[in-house]
Structure 1
Amino acid sequence: MSATFLGIDVGTTRTKAVLLASDGSVVLATAAAPTPQGDSGGVAVHSPRAIREVAVDTARRALAEAGSEARAALGGIAVTSVGEEAVLLDAASRPVGDVPTWFSGVGHGPARELAAELDRHAPVTGLRHPEYTVHTLAWWARTRPAQAQTAVTMTDLGSWLLSSLGPGDLVMDHSHASRTGLFDAPTRSWRPEGLNVVGMGGLTLPRLVPSGTVVGELGTEAAAEFGLAPGVPLVTGGHDHFCGALAAGARSPGDLFISAGTSEAHLLVTDSLDPGATADSEVGCFVTDGLYYLHAALPSGALYLTWTRLLGLDPAAPLDALLGEEPVGSRGVRGHISADRRLSLTGVPVDADPATLLRALMEATAVSSRELTRHLSRTAGRAVVQRLLAGRPAQSPAWREIRGAIGEGAAAFVDAQEATALGAAHLAVRGVTGTLPAPLPRRHLDPDLPPARRQEYARAFG
């Protein structure tokens, strides 16, 4: 049997494992489990050791499902994880404590307080989002000083997990480093002066490597945990959204990946970053070395959950059943999503029903997505060549029609339930063989939108 490759994804809510045939065309096995989450003094945290236990068990189950032949042929392991969660390590490479989750909000206060000083002492291309690691480090120095003083280095959650599997270097890949607020993407270099600003000046930053780099091999003890022979190459993954984009086929400048979930991530791939033009944008290195990304998000899924409940609808019900036969344009009801994540509706008649308002929300998020896409395109100086849309809403024909008709660039829809883990497996293949597997199959708007229907959208939304 030809070599197989394992991708592990430590996600916010679930940890997944995918075993892939070397040509990338066949998924041999998958497994998943809830990602363990705890609470520390009212702060949502991930325990590195608990994460490792679940990740190893999930990977072991996927390998067992694939069978002994596929397990014996394993040629590489890569790990992807949530982007901004850094593990602080002591001199013996042990985690000094639990990791605040990216959504815990602990860095928002320091972000407001220290932004100007960080920009003076350690400027980077693009803005520093409040969830970036550098702001969490400030929280750590202030509220967990004993742990902070014990720490000598750090890395991202996925790279730490990879390093725990065997002998090899402690590293951080460029895509994860891009989410720290301490890394300058165009020069691919650290800005360690920022550590002094946030009270963590004694910390050493890890060696930087591109995603898809072999950095070690599976050790004897970890191999026994997996039921494998030692020596399997360990390969750096990347930020989870970006690995998902890679698997979906966002691989060239002008490719836009939209992952529709609670937060609808928009990621535009580009081949250059202009520090002047991108000063107010989230930018960084993509998981394909030599390429960059611009990133922004809409609260479309969160608004959907809020409004379905307000309207007395079941948010788990199929979207097409909820929308019924509502016409294009929602009978004149229009929605607008503001910069502070608020939805306003205008033109609402006194006899409006829930289906009308829900369709207005769907159309409003599509228009907002189009405007956000145009903003990313102008900022990057790069036209959108194709839109790749993934996520649970893409299962709905009505959602696909709305997004296919309202947006920049040709739309294609990707069934990518485990795309992040699959993207990690793709990086494992590339790291070991030098070849990137083909992306997931995609489908264009189906059925083809009749010209008259498309004109209805054009009249209503431009």
Structure 2
Amino acid sequence: MTATFLGIDVGTTRTKAVLLEAGGGTVLAAAAAPTPQGDAGGVAVHSPGAVRGVAVDAARRALAEAGPEARAGLGGIAVTSVGEEAVLLDAAARPVGDVPTWFSGVGHAPAREHAAELDRHAPVTGLRHPEYTVHTLAWWARSRPAQARAAVTLTDLGSWLLSSLGPGDLVMDHSHASRTGLFDAPSRSWRAEGLAVVGTGHLALPRLVPSGTVVGELGREPAAELGVAAGVPLVSGGHDHFCGALAAGARSPGDLFISAGTSEAHLLVTDSLDPAATADSEVGCFVTDGLFYLHAAVPSGGLYLTWTRLLGLDPAAPLDALLDGEPVGSRGVRGRVGADRRLALDGLPLDVSPATLLRALMEATAVASRDLTRALSSTAGRGVAQRLVAGRPTESATWREIRTAVGEGAAAFVDAKEATALGAAHLAVRAVTGTLPPPVPRRRPDAPLTSARLEEYARAVG
């Protein structure tokens, strides 16, 4: 049996663990459970202790399923997690309280309040998103001052979980640091002055490491929890979106990864960042050291959920059945997704059908994705080499056809189940062996679109 590697993903709704056979990249076992979420004074939170319990249990079940030989061959463990959620730790390395979730919105008001001062005192390349950690720290200092004062340092949720598994350094990898608003990606360095701006100047920031760095080893007690031997290398992971992109095959400059979920994330990999050109973009370090990313999103899945409910349709129903053979061009109904994330519809007849509206929405979000890709490409100064698309919508033949016809670069659709946990396992493999396993499989290609069909799309959507 060749060596095996464990990847753990602490996601927003589910926590997953996969065990990978390094040689051929075969997934030997997987387990998952809902990520425990609580409420603290009306704020959605993750409790570090509860999250650790679920993650360790999922890992233990995956290892048990794989069998004794696979457990004996365990060669490394890496963890990925939701990107902006920071655990504040006291002098004994204990969490001082629960962690506001990235979607809780607690940082939006501080982001507006402190934006100019942060840019003056702690400038970084790229745009600081309202969900970045630095804005949540401002909320923490104001709304949970006793906890904030008790803290001496912080790290991301995944790195904290990794540190709880055994002796080793408390670190933060470059990709997670890129989502804090306190890190300058081109220089790969902290901008710690921003802590004082938001009222947490007493905190020490953790040591920075590239994703896929051995930072410790599995301790005896955690090893007993998992049912494996102690001493297994612990490897820094990365932000969950970026680990998913790595597993899907986004590994070189010009690779574009699109994760089609509630928010359709677009991630363009590049080998350089121009601070002047990227001032209004979300940028950072990718999980392959030496590479960077540009990131933006289209609310495609959110629009789909909203409109299926408004139309009285089941959003879980197969998309092809809901579209019911609607023609290219949606019978003249045109949709546009604006910069304010609003959908505008033109040319609606009084007797428009739900299927026509959904088709128009699919075409509108495809155009929005194409335009966003062009903007990212222009900002990066690099064309799209390959467009890797993952997510539940790729199960629809109609959706795949629309995205094949409308978009920059040749589209490839990937079967990315548990890709984030798999990406963490890939980082563990690379850290220990020096090589990356092969990416997840691509879906079987559809028949190529004819030139006449492509012209039909060009006339309908531009």
Asked if 1:124 corresponds to 2:102, the answer is no
SS in 1 for 2:360: helix
Q: Report the counterpart of residue 59 of structure 1 in structure 2.
A: 59
CA distance in 1, matches of 2:445, 2:343: 27
Q: CA deviation at 1:25?
A: 2.5
Q: Report the counterpart of residue 225 of structure 1 in structure 2.
A: 225
Q: CA deviation at 1:450?
A: 2.0
Structure 1 residues 223, 93: closer, same or farther in 2, change over 3 A? Answer: same
Q: Report the counterpart of residue 316 of structure 2 in structure 1.
A: 316
Q: Report the counterpart of residue 446 of structure 2 in structure 1.
A: 446
Q: Report the counterpart of residue 387 of structure 1 in structure 2.
A: 387
Q: Report the counterpart of residue 106 of structure 2 in structure 1.
A: 106
SS in 1 for 2:139: helix
CA distance in 2, matches of 1:29, 1:440: 15
SS in 2 for 1:296: strand
Q: Report the counterpart of residue 48 of structure 2 in structure 1.
A: 48
Q: Report the counterpart of residue 433 of structure 1 in structure 2.
A: 433
Residues 193-235 of structure 1: CA deviation (Å, up to 9, x unaligned): 0000000000000000000000000000000000111000000
SS in 1 for 2:20: strand
CA distance in 2, matches of 1:447, 1:371: 25
Q: CA deviation at 1:383?
A: 0.4
Q: Which amino acid aligns with 1:14?
A: R
Q: CA deviation at 1:452?
A: 1.5
Q: Report the counterpart of residue 256 of structure 1 in structure 2.
A: 256
CA distance in 2, matches of 1:226, 1:93: 22
CA distance in 1, matches of 2:198, 2:313: 46
Q: How does 1:181-192 map to 2 (within 5 A)?
A: 181-192=181-192
Q: CA deviation at 1:272?
A: 0.1
Residues 82-121 of structure 1: CA deviation (Å, up to 9, x unaligned): 0000000000000000000000000000000000000000
Structure 1 residues 435, 190: closer, same or farther in 2, change over 3 A? Answer: same
Residues 219-262 of structure 1: CA deviation (Å, up to 9, x unaligned): 00000000111000000000000000000000000000000000
SS in 1 for 2:236: strand
Q: Which amino acid aligns with 1:322?
A: L
Q: Report the counterpart of residue 299 of structure 2 in structure 1.
A: 299
SS in 2 for 1:208: strand
After TM superposition, the score normalised by the length of structure 1 is 0.99
After TM superposition, the score normalised by the length of structure 2 is 0.99
Q: Report the counterpart of residue 159 of structure 2 in structure 1.
A: 159
* 8 Å Cα contact 1:80-1:238 kept in structure 2: yes
Q: How does 1:289-438 map to 2 (within 5 A)?
A: 289-438=289-438
* 8 Å Cα contact 1:270-1:292 kept in structure 2: yes
Residues 149-180 of structure 1: CA deviation (Å, up to 9, x unaligned): 00000000000000000000000000000000
Q: How does 1:166-315 map to 2 (within 5 A)?
A: 166-315=166-315
Unpaired segments of 5 or more residues in structure 1?
none
SS in 1 for 2:237: strand
CA distance in 2, matches of 1:182, 1:24: 38
CA distance in 2, matches of 1:24, 1:359: 40
Residues 327-360 of structure 1: CA deviation (Å, up to 9, x unaligned): 0000010001112211110001111100000000
* 8 Å Cα contact 1:256-1:384 kept in structure 2: yes
Q: State the 4+ residue runs in structure 1 displaced beyond 2 angstroms.
A: none
CA distance in 1, matches of 2:273, 2:109: 28
Identity %, equivalent residues: 84
Q: Which amino acid aligns with 1:5?
A: F
CA distance in 2, matches of 1:136, 1:73: 41
Q: CA deviation at 1:447?
A: 2.2
- Between the two proteins, the alignment pairs up a number of residues equal to 462
CA distance in 2, matches of 1:362, 1:24: 37
SS in 1 for 2:399: helix
CA distance in 2, matches of 1:60, 1:347: 56
CA distance in 1, matches of 2:364, 2:244: 25
Q: Structure 1 residues 230-239 or 451-460, which shifts more?
A: 451-460
